[in-house]
Amino acid sequence: MLLTHRLRHGLVRALAAGAGRTDRNPVVLLPGLGAPGYLVDTLHGCAASAPSFLLDVPGFGAGPMACEPELGALVDVATEWLSNVLDRPATLFGHSTAAQVAMTVAARRPELVGALVLAGPTFPPPLRRLGRLSVALLRDLVHESPAALPGTVPYYLRAGPRRLLRFIRSAQRDEPERVVPFVRCPVQVLRGRHDTLSPRGWARSLADAAVHGSLVTVPGAHTFPATSGGLTSRLITEFGPSR
């Protein structure tokens, strides 16, 4: 079901599933680099256990943009959505650049987030320059599945290169390692075994810096949720607390 909420920052669209269940805290999914399509399978997997929502932020789906394609704007929109739409803390999932968004939301507004799942969190300090990032991306693509393309490419085409670059550069300016120690809820870091955008040492350091952190390595590369929605949803819902 498609929901729309007009918030102070703009119109936010979200896919909702499993909303009739009330025995588990809701799951909220934030997509990496603004491409929600590849997380639809994960959404439906989560919906079997909890009311679940997939946000179209910054708005690369159909319709108007919810916000500017920058990390700070996404943090504001996600925070406002959680505060205005849900009546209890969520299990908040963010993949790739959205992992940075999710951890900042959890650090700033701990009452909104009961558990935090960070999948393929970007970017370690060496990848905060475009040249090094480009090399890591090429190394990752060797291990990616073409099955991820339908859920990502149409959104990237709609966004256009300028918006995507603006989004990436804002994420490269972020310093997640300074944020995660302020997250008080349990944190689970997920990464694909061949993910060169979120190397094991970086993912481990974020898990270790969290007050209650753990690291899980799964098959695949950076976009593993696109081809492993069942596994991803199971890890999210098993980690998230009951109401």
Provide the residue count of the chain.
243
Distance, CA of 107 to CA of 87 (rounded, Å): 19
Tens digit of each residue's pLDDT (9 = 90 or more) over 37-47: 999 999 999 99
Distance, CA of 70 to CA of 93 (rounded, Å): 18
Spatial contact of 183 and 108, defined as CB atoms under 8 Å apart: no
- Contacts of 31 by beta carbon, 8 Å cutoff, 6+ apart: 37, 38, 39, 54, 55, 56, 57, 95, 98
Q: What is the pTM of this model?
A: 0.95
Q: How is residue 241 annotated by DSSP?
A: P
Q: Which residue matches tokens 């799951």? A: 27
How many CB atoms within 10 Å of residue 15?
21
Q: How many Cα atoms are found within 13 Å in the side-chain-facing hemisphere of 8?
A: 11
Residue 106's closest CA among 195, 179, 203?
179
Supply the pLDDT for residue 147: 87
Q: Which residue matches tokens 């205005």? A: 84
Q: Is the pLDDT of residue 93 over 70?
A: yes
Distance, CA of 209 to CA of 197 (rounded, Å): 19
Interval 53-75 mean pLDDT: 93
* Dihedral of alpha carbons 168, 169, 171, 177, sign: positive
Domains of the chain, each with CATH number or no CATH: 2-239 (3.40.50.1820)
Supply the pLDDT for residue 21: 57
What is the average pLDDT value for the chain, to the nearest integer? 93
Spatial contact of 218 and 191, defined as CB atoms under 8 Å apart: yes
Q: pLDDT-derived band of residue 8, with 50, 70 and 90 as boundaries?
A: confident
Supply the pLDDT for residue 63: 79
- Contacts of 89 by beta carbon, 8 Å cutoff, 6+ apart: 25, 111, 112, 113, 114, 185
